[in-house]
Amino acid sequence: MPKISLPFGPYHPALGEPEYFQVVVDGENIVAVDFDLGYNYREMEKKVLNFIWDKATHFLGRICGICSSAHTQAFTLAVEKVNGMEVPPRAKWIRTFGAEIERISSHLLWLGLFGEMAGFEPLFYLSWGAREHALNILEKFGGRRVHYAYMAFGGVHQDLKPTPGMEAELRGLKQKYEEIREMVMASDLLADRFRGVGVVTPQQARDYGLVGPTARGSGVNNDIRKDMPYNSYEEHDFTVPIYKGGDSYARAMVRLDEIRESIRILEQIVNGLPKGKLTSVNSFTKSRLGEATQSVEAPRGENFHFVRAGELTPQFLRVRPPTFANLSVIPEMLKGRMVSDVPVVISSIDPCFACTDRVILIDRSDKSIREVQL
Amino acid sequence: MPARLLVPFGFEWIKRKVDALVERRIGPPLLQPVYDWFKLWGNETLLPDGAGIFFRLAPWLLFLCSLVAVYVASIRPPWALLELLALLSTMTLLKMFLARAVTSPFTIHGLGRLGSMKLALDPAFPLAFLAAAFLWGFDMNWPLKAAILLPLAVATALAELELPPFDLSHAKSELVAGWKTELSGRWLALVTYAENARMVAVSLMLAALLGPTHLWLKATLIFTLLSALSIALPRMHLAKAIRWLSFLNVLALAEVIACLSWASWLV
C-alpha cells in the first residue's frame, strides 16, 4: 500500500491552535511524524522591549490566555530578583491563589479537549461546566475571566477577599470535579483509548528534558513548586502526583490529581490568608540594571523567563515555555501507533502553541521562513 | 409522502435534545433542525479541485435513497426488510463513490475505514434483523420481544449508522470529517438529511419487526435509545472496533439459530 501523508494542521479539529504535524501513514499505521512550528509567532519578546515595566507585565500576560498568570509571575519574579524587592506575605499567598486557580482552569479545559479527542463529547461539556466555577472565582478575584492582571512589582494589584459567593463557587468546583473524576475512572471504554498509548519511559523523559505533568506521568519527580519554591508554596501542604505508566492515561491521571491538590491549596489560602500589605512599593518605574532568570510551575510544566533589565524597559527577554520542552517527544510517542492515536497523543501533553512559537527568522533574499530552536 | 419529508427533522430534534440532556445543556427548540438545514442549504457550495461528476451526483442519490428508505421502513415487515437492507448497502456504496470522487487524504482514509467497517459488520447487521423477522407475526408482547432482540440489533445498528462508538469513518478529531470532508453547502445539507433519514429508517424497521402496533411510538423509543447510546459512549479505537464487530457476527449467527429454532417450536 502506498504511503500517504496526513496533514494534522495547520488547521485541524485535533488542534486548538494552528500548528502543523505531518503524519506519514501506511494504511492505518504511522510510519513517520514530523512537526513544524511558527504559525502562532507574534514577536512578543521583541515588542515587550518597548514597554515600560507595568505595561510589560500586562503585555506578557497575553502570551497565553490559559497560563497568563504563569508568564506574568515568572517575569515579575525575575525583575524583583534584579531589584532585590521583598514581597509581603499576603501578596505571596494571593499570587499562589492566582496560580492555582489558573492551574485548575487550565487542567479542566484540557480534560474537556482530551475527551473530545477520544470522541467523548459529554466529558467536554461537563469539564467546561466545572471550569465555569474556576472562571467565576477568577472574575471575582482578578476582575476578568482571562488575562487577569493582578500581578504588580513588589506584590499584587488586587486583594483577595474570600466572600461566601467565592466559597460557594469553590464548593461547586470541588463537587463537579469529583463527579467528573468518578466518570473518567468508571469508563473502561474511555480508559482503553488512553492506556498504553504514547508511552514515554522515565529515561526518555529525562533525555528529552520533559517537564510538568508530561514528565510526572513517566515517573519523573519534577515540580518547580517543590524543587525551587517561590510565592508561598513552602507554607502549603500539598503533594505532587506522580504516575509511572508513562502513557496518556498516566498523564491524564496526573492532571486529574493535580486539580484535587490545587483545590486543597486554595482552601488553605481561603482559610488562612495572612493579614498585611499588598505591595512593598508604591510604584515601579525605574529598575536597576541587571539580569535574572525565573522558573515557575505553569499548568503544563516549567515556564522559564530570562530577563535583562534596562532602566525604564526590559532590554532583553527570552521565554522557554513548557510545551517547547514537551513537543519534541511526540514523534517518539507516535512511533508504531495508529492514526486513531494521533489526537489522543498530541493532546496528552496539553500543548499550548501560542506559548511555544517564540522566534522566527525570515530570509529576505528568498523569503523563506525558519523557526529558531532555542 | 410530504409529511414523511419532515420526519427526519423531528427525529434530529430528539437526538439533539438527548445529547443536550446527557451533556447538561438545554438543547435546541423544536424548529432548530429545520432552520439549520435551510441555512446549510443556503451556504456557499464549493467544488474541490479534480472532483468527478459523481461528487455532484452522489449527494442527490443519497437523499433519494434515504427518502425511499423511510417510506419502505414504514411499510410493515417482513416484506420491506430486504428492500431496506439493499437500500442501506446502496447508500454505503454511494458514500464510497463520493469519497473516491475527490483526492483528499482524509476522504481516502474515511473511505478505507468505511469499507473495512462495512466488511466486518455486513453479516451481523442483516442477521440481527433476520432473527427479528423470524419471530415476526407470532403473538408475543412487544416489550418481551424487544428485550430478546434489541441488544444485538441496536449494537449492530450503531455500527451500520456510523454512530459512536463506531463513528470511525468520519471521526472528527482524527479525519476531520472522513468521507464527508470535502462536502459543503447544499451537498452537505443533502447528505446530513440522508444520514438522519437513514437512522429513522433503521429505527422504524426495528420497531416494525417488534410487532404491528404502536409503530411510531416504538420507533421513537428505539431512536432515543440509539441517540442516548451514541452520546454516552466514547469512540472506539479502530483495532478494537473491528474486534467488536467480529464478535457481533458470532453473536448474530447464534441469535439467528436460536430464533429460528424458537419459531419452529412455536409453529
A4 contacts B108? CB cut-off 8 A: yes
Residue B105: asked if its preceding bond is cis (omega within 30°), the reply is no
Cα torsion through A244, A250, A253, A257, rounded to 10 = 30
**The one-letter amino acid at B68:** V
Residue A87 lies in a domain: yes
A342 contacts B174? CB cut-off 8 A: yes
Residue A171 lies in a domain: yes
The residue among B136 and A37 whose pLDDT is bigger is A37
Q: What is the DSSP letter of A88?
A: -
User: Contact at 8 Å (CB) between A275 and A88?
Assistant: no
Confidence of residue A371 (pLDDT cuts 50, 70, 90): low
Residue A151 lies in a domain: yes
Q: Which of B23, B176, B240 sits opposite A122 (nearest CB)?
A: B23
Q: pLDDT tens across A129-142, in order? A: 999 999 999 988 88
Q: What is the DSSP letter of B180?
A: G
SS3 content of chain A, % helix, strand, coil (to 5): 50, 15, 35
User: Contact at 8 Å (CB) between A93 and A273?
Assistant: yes
User: Contact at 8 Å (CB) between A315 and A308?
Assistant: yes
Distance CA A296, CA B71 (A): 64
- From residue B73, alpha-carbon distances to A63, A139, B10, B42, B91 in Å are 57, 54, 17, 30, 15
Distance CA B24, CA B18 (A): 10
Size of interface A-B (CB pairs under 8 A): 80
Q: What is the DSSP letter of A363?
A: E
The enclosing H or E element of A35 equals strand A29-36
Beta-carbon contacts of A38 under 8 Å, excluding residues fewer than 6 positions away, are: A357, A360, A369, A371
Residue A8 lies in a domain: no
User: Contact at 8 Å (CB) between B147 and A317?
Assistant: no
Q: Which residue of B has its CA nearest to A183?
A: B232
Mean pLDDT of A162-167: 87
Which residues in chain A are contacts of B233 at CB distance < 8 A? 120, 189
A339 contacts B238? CB cut-off 8 A: yes
Total structural domains within chain A: 1
User: How buried is residue A283: exposed, middle or buried, by Cβ count under 10 Å (0-12/13-18/19+)?
Assistant: exposed
- From residue B151, alpha-carbon distances to A103, A164, A220, B148, B251 in Å are 43, 49, 45, 7, 11
Residue A351 lies in a domain: no
Confidence of residue A374 (pLDDT cuts 50, 70, 90): very low
pLDDT of residue A359: 58
Confidence of residue B92 (pLDDT cuts 50, 70, 90): very high
Question: Chain A within 8 Å of B115 (Cβ-Cβ)?
Answer: no
Residue A154 lies in a domain: yes
Q: pLDDT tens across A236-258, in order? A: 999 999 999 999 999 999 999 99
Question: Chain A within 8 Å of B168 (Cβ-Cβ)?
Answer: yes
Mean pLDDT of B36-48: 93
B165 contacts A338? CB cut-off 8 A: no
A119 contacts B235? CB cut-off 8 A: yes
Distance CA B58, CA B52 (A): 10
What CATH number is given to the structural domain containing A224?
1.10.645.10
**DSSP three-state, residue A33:** strand
The residues on A that touch B, with CB distances below 8 Å, are: 4-7, 12-14, 25, 27-28, 115-126, 129, 187, 189-190, 192-193, 338-343
Q: Which of A298, A293, A292 is nearest to A222 (CA)?
A: A298
Q: Sign of the C-alpha dihedral, residues A9, A12, A14, A17? A: positive
User: Contact at 8 Å (CB) between A285 and A83?
Assistant: no
Sheet holding A301-309, edge to edge: A290-298, A301-309, A314-320
B24 contacts A119? CB cut-off 8 A: no
Confidence of residue B53 (pLDDT cuts 50, 70, 90): confident
**The one-letter amino acid at B75:** I
pLDDT of residue B77: 63
Which residues in chain B are contacts of A126 at CB distance < 8 A? 23-24
pLDDT of residue A357: 74
Residue A29 lies in a domain: no
Which of A189, A195, A344 to substitute to test the interface with B, most B CBs within 10 Å? Answer: A189
Boundaries of domain holding A161: 42-324
Interface of B with A in 190-249 (CB under 8 A): 231-240
User: Contact at 8 Å (CB) between A62 and A68?
Assistant: yes
Q: Which of A115, A121, A340 sits opposite B238 (nearest CB)?
A: A340
Residue A5 lies in a domain: no
